């Protein structure tokens, strides 16, 4: 993902042009004048002007120099907006009944899709053949269902990942570390997390194959889970 803002990109381009030995003196003087004007107008600071016009500083080193200055970089919010567009574009191509949560992790330079497996109240009633009045005691934290979920859900998900899941060259799949209680639904849950490096999905030609893989994996794992927990 391109992290430089418009000013940063302009400076990188100007640096390349200043180091282009095919340019005439007239062009070079015009570029130097442009750099001087940017400094006078306080678009860039004197240190940046010095680095920009330094003949011995390579474009790569200049890029590293700019990356240390926030004024030449996109903000976290700007990057997150760009991540979100890609994340939503991939999600639109999913072909599964599984519902995902998702998020853009700018700091980790990745997109994440979260599939949740859960043991809900209907499952508790059906599996344990208990009365409605007994459910509250069963599902309380550290209660019987909680202990069952902690032992059973990770084992099923691990079994799926070890025996059924296919690897993907871009998408990594890992289960979350802990089972948790969803207070809103009184369900015991565990997440399966699909992570994608943002650099691998800037080109939208990869989106369909990634969406297909996640969809197939989610559908298969959900079916596997239901079979094992029934």
Tens place of pLDDT for every residue, the chain, 230 residues? 899 999 999 999 999 999 998 899 899 999 999 999 999 999 999 999 999 999 999 999 999 999 999 999 999 999 999 999 999 999 999 999 999 999 999 999 999 999 999 999 888 888 888 777 778 777 887 788 889 999 999 999 999 999 998 999 999 999 999 999 998 988 999 999 999 999 999 999 999 999 999 999 999 999 999 999 98
Classify residue 171 as exposed, middle or buried by CB count within 10 Å of its CB (0-12, 13-18, 19+): buried
pTM: 0.88
Can you read off the two tokens belonging to residue 188? 């015991």
Give residue for tokens 């500083």: 57
Give residue for tokens 């409605």: 132
Q: Where are the domains of the chain?
A: 6-72, 87-229
Can you read off the two tokens belonging to residue 82? 């760009």
Distances (CA, A) of 83 to 1, 104, 227: 9, 6, 36
């Amino acid at each position: 993902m391109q992290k430089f803002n418009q000013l940063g990109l302009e400076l990188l381009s100007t640096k390349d042009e200043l180091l282009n030995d095919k340019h005439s003196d007239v062009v070079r003087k015009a570029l130097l004048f442009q750099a001087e004007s940017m400094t006078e107008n306080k678009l860039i600071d004197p240190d940046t002007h010095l680095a920009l016009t330094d003949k011995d500083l390579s474009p790569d080193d200049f890029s590293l120099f700019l990356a240390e200055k926030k004024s030449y970089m996109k903000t976290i919010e700007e990057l997150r907006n760009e991540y979100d567009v890609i994340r939503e574009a991939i999600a639109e191509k999913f072909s599964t009944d599984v519902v995902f949560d998702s998020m853009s992790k700018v700091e980790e330079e990745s997109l994440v899709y979260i599939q949740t497996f859960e043991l809900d109240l209907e499952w508790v009633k059906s599996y344990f053949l208990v009365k409605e009045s007994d459910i509250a005691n069963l599902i309380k934290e550290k209660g019987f269902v909680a202990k069952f979920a902690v032992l059973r859900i990770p084992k099923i998900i691990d079994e799926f990942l070890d025996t059924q899941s296919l690897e993907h060259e871009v998408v990594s799949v890992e289960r979350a570390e802990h089972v948790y209680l969803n207070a809103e639904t009184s369900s015991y849950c565990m997440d399966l997390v699909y992570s994608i490096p943002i650099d691998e999905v800037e080109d939208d030609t990869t989106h369909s194959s990634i969406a297909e893989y996640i969809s197939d994996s989610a559908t298969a794992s959900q079916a596997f889970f239901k079979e094992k927990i029934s």
